[in-house]
Structures are given as C-alpha cells and as structure tokens.
Amino acid sequence: MDHFIPLSVPNFEGQEVNYVTKAVGEGWVSTGGAYITELEEKMAAFLKVEKAVAVQSGTAALHLALIESGVGPGDAVFVPTLTFIAAVNPVKYQFAHPIFVDADDSLCMDPAKLKKYCEEECEVRDGVLFTKQGNYPVKAIVVVHVFGNMADMESIMEIAETYHLRVIEDATEALGTKYETGKYAGKYAGTIGDFGAYSYNGNKIITTGGGGMLVARNTEEAKHMAYLSTQAKDDPHFYIHDEVGYNYRMTNVQAAIGVAQMEELEEFIERKQRNFERYRKHFEGEPNMKLLPYRKGTSSNSWFYALCIEMDRLSINPRQLVEGLSQKQIGSRLIWGLISEQKPYQNDLRTDVSTAKEYAGKVLNIPCSTNLTEEEIDYVAATVKAMVKEATV
Ligand SMILES: *Cc1c(COP(=O)(O)O)cnc(C)c1O
C-alpha cells in the first residue's frame, strides 16, 4: 500500500467550507446564530423528536442530562465499565457514585447483570433503590450504544421502570442507529430513554470539530437543559439568573460545519454499512477471529468495526499486532481498558465485570472512515488475516 489508511478520519465533501465562510463573514461566530437553530431543527427532524439542544460536546450533553435527572452528591448511577471514559466522568462532576456494570456479547451493558445487582446488592425503601454497600440512593442508568451497536433497550427500560431509574442514553457513537422490529421499532438510539446525548467529535460519524446534541423525551426538560447550557439566563436584557448555569452552548461556527455534515449523514451511514458488509464477507469463517455483528432487529450506523481476535492463541500480544499493522500502513486501535480499573474509579462499586475484561483483551478496531475504498478494505482484511495466521501457534 502506497499510503497510510487511518482508523477514522472526518469527511468534508459537502458545504462545510461555504457555511463556515458565511458564518464568519456575517460575524455570527459565537453562541448565537442561525446555524445553531438549523442544526437543532435538522437533528430533531432526523431523530423524530420535538426539540434538540446544541451543546459544546457529548460530555457536556451527558453532564446536563445527569443534572436534569436530579443526580447530585452521594447519589449512585449505573454505568458501563467497557466504554470511553467520557460516559462516566460526568457522574463524578456531580459528586455521585458510579456503579460499574459488565458488558455482554454486544459489548454494551449486560441487562442481566444490571438486574441481578438491583435484586441482590440493593434494596428498595419507600420506592427508592438503595445500594446495600454505602447506602447510596440510585437515581439513573447511563447506557452506551458501543461502536454504534444498540444496547438491549427493551430489557434496560424494563429494569428502569421497575426501580424508577432515569435512563440516559449515551448515543455519541450511535447517531442513526435504530430499532427495526420489536417494541421500539422505528426508534433511534438516544430517543428511547429519558435523555439522549450525541457527539460531533472529530472521529464520530459526523463532526463539528467538537460539539454535541442533547434530546429529552420530555420537551420541558429539553428546554430547561438549553437554559442551563447558556448560563441559566432568565432574561434577555437584564442579568437575572435563578439557577447555576454552564457555558455549554455550541457556537455558530461549529453548527455551520454541523449543518453541512447533517446533509451527508444518510450517505455516510450507507457507506459505513456497505463497508462493514464487505469486511464481514472477508472475515466470515476465518479461524481465531470474528467481526462482531450488530444487534438483530436493529439497523446500526455501523460507526466502528469490532474485530474479536483470540489473542491467547497468538504468539504476539495485542500491542504488537497494532504496531505490526501500523508498519503495513494500517491504522488500528484496541478497545478501551475497563474504566473500573482506572485510578479515579478503582474503589467504586461494580458487578462482576469478567465479560468486559475478556473483550478488553481481544477487540481490535480496524479502519472505518466514510471515504474508505474497496481496495483499501480488501487490503486491510487480507493483511490482518495474514498477520493473525502467521502468529497462530
Ligand atoms: C465520544 C464519546 C463521548 C464524548 O463525546 P465528546 O463530544 O468527545 O465529549 C462520550 N461517550 C462515548 C462512548 C464516546 O465515544
């Protein structure tokens, strides 16, 4: 290969530069402007919700959702351990306690282990779920749709209803993922629980450089979060603030890029799905590796591809595999380590996390940009297969 194939790069094939030029030219560069409203309206229409709120990042969206859920100091929140740490940090911003939940074979939160923890490690008093250890009131669940794969929302929503927990969907990796069958047929990831957080970071399916979007099942709550995101300004002319607010609003320059990217979203999803299918055929039946499928009954945005490799059968370790691929001009990356093992989180509560730990040592992400060519996909698949074969002991 005569050039490097990156893991994931943004794609600006549309009106990005034109819209940014217009925003700058008109002087609307900050947290007000027509592109912000337009992006919110485009997202709301796409997701089939009443209102979407444009914010500075996916992390800011998650933080606002926790605040709106009433999560405060001393409360507890269920979170996944196998995901990007941004899904969990906002729990600590609120001085609340994360309770780490294991993953299942979808790499998303395992509802069976969540349920078991509620039944065995918690007790209900006056309709509120308390942890036995620490006696923390449990307020919410943060569920992540890992790599664009829908979590088992039917099971998770049932558990949430039983124990009166609010559900915050981290759909930062799953914009465009939806149910096709079942109770939530037609529903997009992020629009099933109480809140949905999206990210437009550089490696997500569409990007604004950095930015995010927030939706809520209850439109009044969405409006309140928009208010909190703009320093909780009660009055357009006088400095009246009845609550502590945040500087979490998206800028018009970011939104200009976002509007252009929204125009390309459907096309990007189609390409990601097509590329996944091409990889899938390449890896089908291959020994010691498996391209993990997306959930049955859903249509995934196919954002990232998770190649599960039986590393313990190889003479090389995962790091050597990534380095070897890099030498062959292929960008790849290992799945995250468990958050429950990171320094700030080592002492927090958790379920048994054995499945997450197993996958953490096995899953490799391979190039998935929307501008990948068929030749590049064929080269990546052939190279990975050859390297694994050679290292098999
Ligand atoms: C990217 C990401 C976030 C954070 O989004 P930002 O816009 O970067 O703040 C949160 N959770 C997960 C799972 C992510 O992948």
84 lines ligand 1 (CB under 6 A): yes
Atom of ligand 1 nearest to the CA of 146: 13
**Ligand 1 centre and the CA of 66: distance in Å?**
15
Ligand 1 and 68: CB distance under 6 A: no
Cα gap 127→222, rounded to integer Å: 26
Nearest CA to ligand 1 atom 11: 87
Distance in angstroms (rounded) separating the CA atoms of residues 30 and 263: 22
Pocket test for ligand 1, best of 145, 201, 208 (most atoms within 8 A of CB): 201
pTM above threshold 0.85 = yes
Contacts of 192 (CB under 8 A, 6+ apart): 153, 157, 167, 169, 179, 184
Ligand 1 atom with the smallest distance to the CA of 87 is 11
Using an 8 Å Cβ cutoff, are 100 and 125 in contact? no
Query: Mind listing the pLDDT tens digit of every residue in the chain (393 residues)?
Result: 999 999 999 999 999 999 999 999 999 999 999 999 999 999 999 999 999 999 999 999 999 999 999 999 999 999 999 999 999 999 999 999 999 999 999 999 999 999 999 999 999 999 999 999 999 999 999 999 999 999 999 999 999 999 999 999 999 999 999 999 999 999 999 999 999 999 999 999 999 999 999 999 999 999 999 999 999 998 888 899 999 999 999 999 999 999 999 999 999 999 999 999 999 999 999 999 999 999 999 999 999 999 999 999 999 999 999 999 999 999 999 999 999 999 999 999 999 999 999 999 999 999 999 999 999 999 999 999 999 999 998
Coil/strand/helix, residue 315: coil
For residue 155, the CA-to-ligand 1 centroid distance in Å is 24
Question: Using an 8 Å Cβ cutoff, are 198 and 61 in contact?
Answer: yes
- Give the DSSP letter of residue 107: S
Residue 148, ligand 1, Cβ within 6 A: no
Cα of 81 to ligand 1 centre, how many Å?
14
Pocket of ligand 1 contains residue 201 by CB under 6 Å: yes
Q: How many Å separate Cα 363 from the centre of its chain?
A: 17
Nearest CA to ligand 1 atom 5: 58
Output the residue whose Cα is nearest ligand 1's atom 6: 58
The finding on whether 87 has its CB within 6 A of some atom of ligand 1 is: yes
Q: 172 alpha carbon to ligand 1 midpoint, in Å?
A: 5
Determine if ligand 1 sits within 6 Å of the CB of residue 173.
yes
At what angle are helices 374-391 and 265-283 packed, to 10 degrees?
40
